[in-house]
Structure 1
Amino acid sequence: MSTADRPGTTGTGTRPQPAERVRPPRKARPNGQWAVDGTTPLNENEAVKQQGPPLEVRERILSTYATGGFESIDPDDLHSRFRWWGLYTQRRQGIDGGRTAQLDISELEDHYFLQRIRLDGGSLNREQLRTIGGISNDFARGTADLTDRQNIQLHWVEIASVPEMWRRLESVGLTTIEGCGDTPRGFLVSPVAGIAKDEVIDPTPVAQAIRDTYLGDPELANLPRKFKTALTGSPTLDVLHEINDIALVGVRHPELGPGYDLWVGGALSTAPRLGQRLGAFVSQEDALDVWHGVIRIFRDYGYRRLRNKARLKFLMAEWGPQRFRQVLQEEYLGRTLPDGPPPEPPRGDSDHIGVHEQKDGLFWVGAKPPVGRLSGDVLLGLADLAGRLGSDRVRTTPSQNLLLLDVPSERVPEAVSGLRELGLEAQPGVFQRHTMACTGLEFCKFAIVETKRLAERVTAELDQRLADLGEAGPDRRITLTVNGCPNSCVRIQTADIGLKGQIITVDGEQVPGFQVHLGGGLATAGRPEAGLGRTVRGLKVPASDLTDYIERLVRRYLAQREDEESFSQWAHRADQEELQ
């Protein structure tokens, strides 16, 4: 990259000046677009990021805060720049969800941290598993959660422990850099990249190139908001490509061969929007440049005035895919991308649970940790199991699952039973398999209700009550997500049954409950197109009644469905009264 196209390394994020950029007319009120309005910060968050390179907080953590203790931490570092190294303060214990919106952040937060370990595709070897397991037991009270971004999160981390924790992680090739913050967050990669027999293209080289070239690049460390990446070559479409800022989806061009279809501008939260195809074909050789072009468009043209309007999806909503592609090609690539085909309709199980043969004749075994919850001991046990089986690879998935790779055929039964002994089920019930839950009230400062323990209990009860669902047909694809607040960290709008935590009033008493979204889903086998769920007007379900409500809803669906109608299809056509 030439110096004329680089914004400098001061951390202030000076915008680039491409030679042929055509500026649109200035609006009456600036949106904070660097390429239009200049770089003067329009809010406190933007000002903090320009006061000093956020990534440089690492040195203060190691040299000052770790020895000075929590009280020595500068508030701007604590509540902003710490995120660039994957650190968030966790929720103070004992504060109920009804007080979440009433208290200041200093009242909600504890002197302990959530530490996010970015995995960029979720691949871990035995040494890395043992390292994270040891860190969990030594510094995080044995906690470890899988996220729906293929990362691992630890809790109860003290600032004094961070230097040694980072030293251990980095000694085995792991990092926490840009685990959070206004950065290119850890990216999703197909969990079966390079091993699936039916893979269109292996995205591993592109993912590794992005990581090696741009991870920690100060020129991309001050974005308007977070930037999420997804890459897959699997025909199962297993990386949520419709709800990422950029997604490269494996396709076969009739003339150019295997490559990627380019999607841009997807995200959920409180204003969900599905990503859009640009209609461009991206070769393996062009993928790194295209990724770099899209993220720089976001950096230069993204809206920075209001944080709730700062995601790339809002720029895409204004520009549309045609203009976005034009800007990408003319201002950032300097060449035209060929048109390309869309992905084929998805086939196969995108969660990769169960036993599957790899293209090299070995097998992977996909297993479900209940609602993504692990522990230090489970990680250590998983490393030992892999060692006994002759495997050195474990991968995480966007469905909060784990895959044990490279298992010889004769050792598959041992792998399944060994995983079960660790609480990792390769043959989970229908609801356990398809349920996810966010961190919830236990640790999250934004949460309103408890999620993990509730979801684990409800799914166990549902699998017992609805055991007659069986494993065949669309009814096994009823997905359930339990979110502790409106931010949709586990994708409530794209689940068959999405639950958004709220405090509700029942018989004059305030209790934990949920607003209900029904009929959402991303592209999977049997559902070629993504769609957002519908909100059931006026329905608020107490947490204590969740099992009864979901059982009633599912049995109603089974009684009323037409032919092989999916739950989603039924939920969108059913009357509101039928969904109560």
Structure 2
Amino acid sequence: MSTPASRTPASRHHKRPRGEGQWALGYREPLNKNEENKKNDDGLNVRQRIIDVYAKRGFDSIDPADLRGRMRWYGLYTQRKPGIDGGKTAVLEPEELDDRYFMLRVRIDGGQLDLAQLRTIADISNEYGRGTADLTDRQNIQLHWVEIESVPDIWERLEAVGLSTTEACGDTPRVILGCPLAGIDVDEVLDASEQIREIQERVVGNPAYSNLPRKFKSALSGCPAHCTVHEINDVAFVGVVNEHGEAGYDLWVGGGLSTNPMLGKRLGVFVRPEQAAEVHEGVVGIFRDYGYRRLRHRARIKFLVNDWGVEKFREILETEYLKAPLPDGPAPEQPRGSRRDHVGVFPQKDGNFYVGFAPKVGRLDGDALHRIADIAERHGSGRVRTTVEQKMVILDVAPDQVDSIVAELEASDLQVRPSTFRRQTMACTGIEYCKLAIVETKATAAQLIDELERRLPEFAEPLTINVNGCPNSCARIQVADIGLKGQLVVDENGDQVEGYQIHLGGSLGLNAGFGRKVRGLKTTAKALPDYVERVVKNFDAQRKEGESFADWVQRADEADLR
């Protein structure tokens, strides 16, 4: 006999738990506005609207869902309207922060550029971007002041030389990091260039992977210096040699910083080079299908890896995606040296040299890019590389050309033998262009370098100083020796001014860990040089033989860190 509706047990009315929005578990309905926009229309489809409609009718014709969403699938963000102070960043609506100009990110997978590509970016910068060209810490180049009317021509010119802005931003597989010295480093475990190309062909612009829960960051490298910072990527393939003497990759998953930092975890498998693209696709597939889509701030793969653990992640990868087990493999060797940036003059495998140089906080312009291309060409090089430290490298310099190329680069303030402060200070875009930023970064960091070089001319120990305009850690503040997180602070007069919360002693490599936060430790932007000078002097006076800044911070008295 059926139960009358009035007497139906309460349990029958329980709704199925909402869960985390994981597609693989049947949660296909969008749980927030971003997911709704992606379900309504694939981000890749915006390209044709930009070409056919928006570039012809202008900024005001752009659909808001495209403007603040799908256009990111092609590397386009509206930049911050000038004159809006950091106190309004979290208060104003997006349309109040939007300028009518765009940041355009050119993806440079593996950091690999030839001179035609570099000159094309330089020309676009000068013609359409008011000369702007910033190196990012993900090997890209960002232009600013780009108008929507210019975008189709920019794409045409980039694509004519084999470059692209496709999925440079958005909830997609973004640029694939690679060692700038791939194929030429005398100590490299293997050259990952071919695997980067294959992965790019498989996933970039592929509708199967164009709707991920959030951004997805990849790195592949056989670099002995571990220059692609594998510990903080969503997926990373690190060059290793197994017990049989075969070169392949150790697989890491789940690294990422932002407001909830986590270090990547080893799956403990050995990936042969010819398997790398398939394994990468498997990891992206897991993220697409099992990644959390309910809340944006929990939608990175690091949360899934953290909840599942590596054993379950490996099991799902092998059984559901690869349909075959992967062998166990060794951990990577410790990184070569204490700096990962490839700045300086070093020999290549073939008897030539590479020359790495340090623009100040990654800030260049179109004319400087042309100068770099000309200098490289005059010295017999057709290959230039970008690094994940906002630096550049010129390859294939003959021994008799080294002194000349160093002199020319240094004469253009592209320093080959920079101070520690020039070499190891990075800064994100900051309030100048970024809608998320609270404080200025690039000029502040550049002035800080100048001051520290003047005040501490003899200091030569490795020391990373990373300057970020907001809590999102685009400049990797938690893993810097001195990480500066932009916020508004109160100065000695009681006025609210730009300043920074300070993280100390973060590191990657041998003893990877996040910086120490000393209670209440902040500085105004104005007092920043005084603070850094003070803490560096304390380190210099107290450090033991061979002790790193990060190690010193762990044992230092709190008073010496203030």
Give the structure-1-normalised TM-score: 0.93
The residue aligned with 2:364 is 374
Deviation at 1:383, TM superposition (A): 1.3
> How far apart are the structure 2 equivalents of 1:411 and 1:562?
40
Amino acid at match of 1:537: R
2:553 and 2:561 in contact (8 A); partners too:
yes
Deviation at 1:29, TM superposition (A): 3.2
Deviation at 1:44, TM superposition (A): 1.1
Match of 2:485 among 500, 505, 511: 500
Gaps of 5+ in 2: 1-14
Q: Helix, strand or coil: the match of 2:310?
A: helix
Aligned pair in 2 of structure 1 residues 367, 274: CA closer, same or farther (>3 Å)? same
Q: Deviations over 1:5-44 (max 9, x none)?
A: xxxxxxxxxxxxxxxxxxxxx9833100000133111111
Match of 2:418 among 428, 437, 442: 428
| Match runs of 1:293-332 below 5 Å | 293-332=282-321
The residue aligned with 1:37 is 26
The residue aligned with 1:569 is 551
Q: Helix, strand or coil: the match of 2:31?
A: coil
Amino acid at match of 1:364: Y
Deviation at 1:530, TM superposition (A): 1.2
1:209 and 1:288 in contact (8 A); partners too:
yes
Amino acid at match of 2:213: P
> How far apart are the structure 1 equivalents of 2:478 and 2:391?
20
> How far apart are the structure 1 equivalents of 2:237 and 2:402?
33
| Match runs of 1:93-172 below 5 Å | 93-172=82-161
> How far apart are the structure 2 equivalents of 1:423 and 1:83?
33
> How far apart are the structure 2 equivalents of 1:217 and 1:418?
43
The residue aligned with 2:511 is 529
2:108 and 2:139 in contact (8 A); partners too:
yes
> How far apart are the structure 2 equivalents of 1:140 and 1:162?
11
| Match runs of 1:422-501 below 5 Å | 422-470=412-460, 476-501=461-486
> How far apart are the structure 1 equivalents of 2:501 and 2:165?
34
The residue aligned with 2:220 is 231
The residue aligned with 1:187 is 176
| Match runs of 1:217-256 below 5 Å | 217-255=206-244
The residue aligned with 2:9 is none
Q: Helix, strand or coil: the match of 2:539?
A: helix
The residue aligned with 2:392 is 402
> How far apart are the structure 2 equivalents of 1:124 and 1:81?
27
Q: Helix, strand or coil: the match of 2:381?
A: coil
The residue aligned with 1:89 is 78
The farther-off stretch of 151-160 and 528-537 is 528-537
2:190 and 2:248 in contact (8 A); partners too:
yes
2:251 and 2:271 in contact (8 A); partners too:
yes
The residue aligned with 1:23 is none
> How far apart are the structure 2 equivalents of 1:423 and 1:55?
40
The residue aligned with 1:280 is 269
> How far apart are the structure 2 equivalents of 1:324 and 1:575?
41
The farther-off stretch of 33-42 and 109-118 is 33-42
Q: Helix, strand or coil: the match of 2:458?
A: helix
Q: Helix, strand or coil: the match of 2:258?
A: coil
Q: Does 2:504 correspond to 1:514?
A: no
Amino acid at match of 1:495: A
Deviation at 1:461, TM superposition (A): 1.1
1:382 and 1:422 in contact (8 A); partners too:
no
> How far apart are the structure 1 equivalents of 2:116 and 2:162?
10
Amino acid at match of 2:548: S
> How far apart are the structure 2 equivalents of 1:383 and 1:401?
15
> How far apart are the structure 2 equivalents of 1:83 and 1:261?
31
The residue aligned with 2:352 is 362
Q: Does 2:536 correspond to 1:557?
A: no
Deviation at 1:190, TM superposition (A): 0.8
Amino acid at match of 1:403: V
> How far apart are the structure 2 equivalents of 1:245 and 1:534?
23
> How far apart are the structure 2 equivalents of 1:76 and 1:422?
43
1:30 and 1:37 in contact (8 A); partners too:
no
2:484 and 2:502 in contact (8 A); partners too:
yes
Q: Helix, strand or coil: the match of 1:121?
A: helix
Q: Deviations over 1:333-386 (max 9, x none)?
A: 111111011001111342100001110111110000100001000111111111
Q: Helix, strand or coil: the match of 1:66?
A: helix
> How far apart are the structure 1 equivalents of 2:92 and 2:36?
24
Tell me the percent identity.
Answer: 56
2:19 and 2:27 in contact (8 A); partners too:
no
Q: Helix, strand or coil: the match of 2:513?
A: coil
Q: Helix, strand or coil: the match of 1:535?
A: strand
Calculate the aligned-residue CA RMSD, in Å: 1.1
Match of 1:196 among 178, 181, 185: 185
Q: How many residues align?
A: 546
Q: Deviations over 1:501-524 (max 9, x none)?
A: 00011232001000000000111x
Amino acid at match of 2:57: G
Q: Does 2:560 correspond to 1:578?
A: yes
Q: Deviations over 1:443-477 (max 9, x none)?
A: 0001111000110110111122111223xxxxx21
Amino acid at match of 1:39: R
The residue aligned with 1:334 is 323
2:80 and 2:97 in contact (8 A); partners too:
yes
Aligned pair in 2 of structure 1 residues 391, 199: CA closer, same or farther (>3 Å)? same
> How far apart are the structure 2 equivalents of 1:423 and 1:563?
33
> How far apart are the structure 1 equivalents of 2:26 and 2:202?
29
Q: Deviations over 1:88-144 (max 9, x none)?
A: 000000111121112111111100000000011111111111111100000000000
1:185 and 1:227 in contact (8 A); partners too:
yes
The residue aligned with 2:10 is none
Q: Deviations over 1:213-271 (max 9, x none)?
A: 22100010000000000111011111010000000000000125100000000000000
Q: Helix, strand or coil: the match of 2:317?
A: helix
1:263 and 1:277 in contact (8 A); partners too:
yes
Deviation at 1:558, TM superposition (A): 1.5
> How far apart are the structure 2 equivalents of 1:355 and 1:265?
34
1:31 and 1:37 in contact (8 A); partners too:
no
2:291 and 2:299 in contact (8 A); partners too:
yes
Q: Deviations over 1:410-468 (max 9, x none)?
A: 00111111212332110111111000000001100011110001101101111221112
> How far apart are the structure 1 equivalents of 2:159 and 2:489?
45
> How far apart are the structure 2 equivalents of 1:510 and 1:269?
25
Deviation at 1:563, TM superposition (A): 2.9
